[in-house]
Amino acid sequence: MEEFKVNHLPLVENKRLVGVVQDSALVDNGDAAATLDSVRDRLTHAFVRGGQHIYDVMKVFSEQNLTVVPVLDDLKSTHKHVAEWMKPQRRSIDRLVFGLASNRVVPQPLGVVGVIVPWNFPLNLSFIPLSAIFAAGNRAMVKMSENSRYLARLLIERMPAYFPPEKLQFFDETGGVGVEFSKLAFDHLLFTGSGTTGRAVMAAAAQNLCPVTLELGGKAPAVVCDDFPLATAAERILFVKCLNAGQICTSVDHVFVPRTQVDEFARLAAQIVPKRYPRLDSPDYTSTVDQRSFDRLVGAMDDARARGATLINLIDSGPAHDRASRKIAPHVVLNAPWDSELMKREIFGPILPLVAYDTLDEVIQRINSGPRPLALYPFSHDNARIERLLTHVMSGGVSINDALFHVGQHDLPFGGIGDSGMGHYHGREGFETFSKLRPIFHQARLSSVGLLAPPYGRLAERMLAFLMR
């Protein structure tokens, strides 16, 4: 076969590595308790050293530095709880049929887990999965994004000092690597990215019957109810929307606002944003990742304007966007048609459509008419309204009276549903996702089941009648 270079290793060598790791993975389960401190310490040390190196290069605090804290917290939380997660679980048994037999579930490593990491939070979305993958006793191969080339190079160079290649390897995207990576016979594959790419990854993994966890995205709505303080809602929503210039899969995509409060929300937004980002070239404000994304967002804004929408630049002292720096000022959009580009697909940028509504039923119907979102953000102090939204709108996760922060809770699973993804990780659910929960039935010395063996006679008939009562 033609050799395909992946991180300076031929593809055939990576296939061999998967096999070696699968053969040896169970070793990790046997001595997991003994090596847990070592793995945690090495992973933490590697992450802190890598994060410090990036900070030294940047010489400035940035939003990406904020990803360090969640990762360290996740490592600490996993280390605190994993001994409990690893314990065999006693399960009930039907004593009438199986007498003194016993049941238990034992978590054991799957083997080797593949991780495909997006560009928007590459440290967070590589090290948090590794925390669960290693806690479950697995090995890992991690493919970085083509837009994270410098970080990928750093991790490829530095990680061997902390983990041998048969435990962990990072791979750069040099063109076509992701396609070949997703074809490898992993025991599990975690992908974070777009729905289009996620479908291709799932199709490739299916050739090996490889189970997948897909963390995708979608149009996550916020719903502001009229009993909630509008200024507080605007502050919290705009903080999340402007974070990383809206390039977060769980960012607020659009906001449903009571019709009588739409203009006031826009006015508040125009006050809030300039205090945080006084100029478009503010060092605290992020660029779009590449020219293609910049052009897509500017094109979507032009499309909405051409269809009659009103776009309000929230940094009114400067330009709406700058092509050289690929920065787009935060905008709110009024009266965007539902068939406009902004409303048809995930925005993934600093543009926030405000959708006027009259009744909560109208909001529920509109959300449910589209794909199920990765997140839902209701704002209300009325528990009946919150419960109505929770019971009538399905989403991957929920933050009530804020946005995004359910993702940062270590004891909550994170994952999508429908078009926004499948499967979960974080916390116990992450450990279980990357474990085989192995059911074990242990027969007793004496078994009553043998009494039901043929030839069938009066005794078998009586036992069956007794069990069917």
Indicate if 215 belongs to the active site.
yes
CA distance 155 to 170: 7
CA distance 435 to 428: 10
CA distance 285 to 322: 13
**Catalytic option among 173, 215, 341, 346:** 215
First-last CA distance in the chain: 64
Q: SS3 for 47?
A: helix
Q: Is 453 left (phi over 0), alpha (psi -120 to 50) or beta?
A: beta
Is the Cβ–Cβ distance between 423 and 213 less than 8 Å? yes
Q: Which structure tokens are listed for 377?
A: 């953000």
Q: Taking each helix axis from N to C terminus, what angle separates 383-392 and 360-368, rounded to the nearest 10 degrees? A: 20
Closest by CA position to 45, among listed 158, 166, 168, 164: 158
Is the Cβ–Cβ distance between 298 and 321 less than 8 Å? yes
Q: Which structure tokens are listed for 114?
A: 């593949």
CA distance 223 to 221: 6
φ, ψ (nearest 5 deg) of residue 172: -85, 155
CA distance 283 to 287: 10
**Catalytic option among 210, 225, 242, 249:** 249
The catalytic residue positions are 215, 249
